[in-house]
Every structure is written in C-alpha cells, then in structure tokens.
Amino acid sequence: MNDSTPPLSTPTGPQGLGHESLGPDGPGHDDTGPQEAPVLSVRDLEVAYRTGKQSRVRALRGVSFDLYPESSLALVGESGCGKTTLGLALLRLLPTLGEITGGEVTYTGGDGRSRDVTAMSASQLRRWRWSEAAMVFQGAQNAFNPVLTIGQQMAETLKDHARGGIGRREILERSAEALRSVRLEPRRVLGSYPHELSGGMKQRALIATGLLLHPRLLVLDEPTTALDILTQRTVIDLLAELRAEYGFAMIFISHDLALAAELADRVITMYAGKVIETGSTQDIFTAPKHPYTSKLINAVPPVTGDLPELASIPGAPPSLATLPPGCAFAPRCELATEECVQSEPELITLTQRPADMTHAAACIHHDQVHHERKVIARA
C-alpha cells in the first residue's frame, strides 16, 4: 500500500546532510534572543534503572538544557546513549524499572505558569500529558493497539486527556481535523485498523494523535524508523509544516544526523548518558568541537554532492554499569591523553550566543578537533 502523499524534493545543506540553507545560527534563529521563558527547563536530570535488589545503572547523568517556544531541538547519538530515556523521563513515562533519581524538569505553559514535572501527582500528569506535552513513540506499528481502529484510539486519547467533558461529535471533529492536518483522509483512516494502513500512513496517524489537543511541546522518538527514504521525506516535510502552523516546541530524537540537520534549530550530542556537545545546527554540522560529534558526521553519507570517505567509529559505547574512568569516549578517541582518563570533562562554553544557541563541548582537546570530510576521487 502506497502513501497518499507524494514525496517532495530533498534540500541540501551543511556537509551535504540534507539541510536547507541556514542562517548564521541555524534555521529559525532569532538574533534578538529569547523573549519568553523556556517551555522546558531541565537541570541536572538523573535517571537510573534497577538491575537487581540493590543495583542501579545510571542512564542519565546530570543532563541540563532549555527549550524555548516554537524552537526545535535534536538529540543525537548512538543507540544506548540515553536519548530515548531522556525523552521518556521528560514526560514521566519511564518503564517500571526506571526512575528519576535527581534533578528538575520545569514546564512553563502559555499562561506563564511554571510547574515541576518531577513533582506532579498521577492525576496532574494525566491532565498535563497530551494537552500540554505529547510524545510520538518509536515504531507506529507497535504504538497502536492492533485490535482497535485508529478512530477508537484517537477517541480514547481525547476522553482521557481533554480538559472537561467532551462529546462524541467534538471527538469526531477533532480527530478528523488532526488527520487532515497530516494529509490523511478521515473517512478512510478513522475506521481502519493499524494493519490496514501503510507504514507512512500509520506514522502520520500517530503524529495526528499526538497533536489532537494542540500541545505546546511535542517529543518525537525516531519518527521515521523503518520507513523507506521517500516516506521519510514526506514525514520530515510534514513535521516542518506542522511546527510552522501550530507553533509547538519540538524535541526530535534520532541517530540519523541528516534528519536532525533538517528539523533542528539546535543539536545536543549525547554519549554514555551525558550531554557532550550542544550548539546551533550550523555550529554542530560545520564546526563540531567534540571528536565524537565529528566522527558521527563523518560516518553519514551525504544526500547530494560529492561522495566523501566514510569512517566508522572504532570500538563500541561503554556499558553504563562499568563506565571507564574520566572521559567515557576516551577509549575510542584518537585525541585522548592521560589527562582525559583522570577526570570526566565538563561542558566548556566555546561561543556565547543569544536564543540559547551557546556552543559548548565536554572535551579538553576541543581546539584540536578539525572537522573535515575527505572526498573520494571519481573515475
């Protein structure tokens, strides 16, 4: 089954990763600086998973960042670096064995009222989720209940999370409006079961469900996983259009740097549960200052332009249960010295900019990271 919406053309950008032309500090950058409080302010967030009666593994270690209204933040890194755990923790959706062990997650609504998400009761969370903050989970095939129609599942979301009572007519109207916003025909989709839709249609229906109550914050966890490249193009263009139309702030979780370059105003690179680099999309993709970020970019083939020499990152991410001393990336880093294994480096501010676009890296050798891509000679 093919998607009803044709793919659009692919733009190009920094490092040939498929990004539209950027301004001085990435798309959507406002040189006047943020005029409002952050939608989300995260400070020293710690998450641990229980692995036994007395054992815990620290999955997030002191994560801090701010997300401003209508901005977009990409979380990138290899599998197991803590991206999905962070997304789940922000909405208090961690699995049973996971728990927030420290830090604060402060949400500020459109009314200017700030609330600590980590201190919300179960009833407060129920009212807050989906009406103020929603999450689009990885893998639409697994996110939907296979024995309920799309319409039934959208109706459940509205009944459970809408403020005040909501009637059947309004449920149908809101569901249809949300589906039309993602270019799906309501008559076709509302009565369909998940298996009757293509992968791209399911993913768009999942995005529509997340936007049912017009949340101020949308978290997307690998929203294009398992989709072919043409369907990915459709979903990415759609997300950009929806953000422009509805004005929500977005956190985009991905291991695909090309998609991050397209959707994000700002990028955070994560490794071993920590933020190791943060900055505007322009800074991260043209002048990364952490060797891990540079290697991630060099491992991604470009969409257009000359074919560069791709280089894999040697070794594997460390086990969170047995982290090496000092910098967690040191065993895989060609710049590592004895100083790197003596103490774990903190984020160093490299470029101070307005609108939360400060460029910072957790590397004592940041001045030695010279990012370049070698082009393979063509016959």
- Retrieve residue 218's tokens: 């949308």
Query: What is the pLDDT at residue 116?
Result: 96
Is residue 231 very low, low, confident or very high in pLDDT (cuts 50, 70, 90)?
confident
Amino acid at 112: G
Selected residue with higher pLDDT from 259 and 150? 150
User: What is the Cα–Cα distance from 24 to 51, expressed in whole angstroms?
Assistant: 46
**pLDDT tens track for 9-21:** 333 344 444 433 3
14's CB contacts (< 8 A; 6+ apart) are: 22, 261, 281, 282, 285, 286
- pLDDT for 32 beyond 70: no
What confidence tier does 84 reach under pLDDT thresholds 50, 70, 90?
very high
Out of 68-82, 222-236, 333-347, pick the least confident.
Answer: 222-236
According to CATH, what is the number of the domain 14-30+37-285? 3.40.50.300
* Range among 78-82, 175-179, 257-261 rated most confident: 175-179
- Cα–Cα distance, 368 to 184 (Å, whole number): 49
Say yes or no to pLDDT of 305 above 80: no
Q: Pick the residue with more confidence: 151 or 310?
A: 151
Tens digit of each residue's pLDDT (9 = 90 or more) over 152-207: 999 999 998 887 678 899 999 999 999 999 999 999 999 999 999 998 899 899 99
Q: Where are the domains of the chain?
A: 14-30+37-285
Mean pLDDT of the chain: 85
- Whether the per-residue pLDDT at 27 is higher than 70: the answer is no
CB atoms under 10 Å from CB of 9, counted, come to 7
pLDDT at 190 (0 to 100): 96
Q: Which residues, 6 or more positions from 11, have their beta carbon under 8 angstroms from its beta carbon? A: 18, 19, 20, 21, 262
Q: Is the pLDDT of residue 288 over 70?
A: yes
The pLDDT assigned to 354 comes to: 64
What b-and-e string marks burial along 230-239, b requiring 16 or more CB atoms within 10 Å of the CB? ebbbbbbbbb
What's the pTM? 0.86
Average pLDDT over residues 293-299: 89
Write out pLDDT tens, residues 326-335.
999 999 999 9
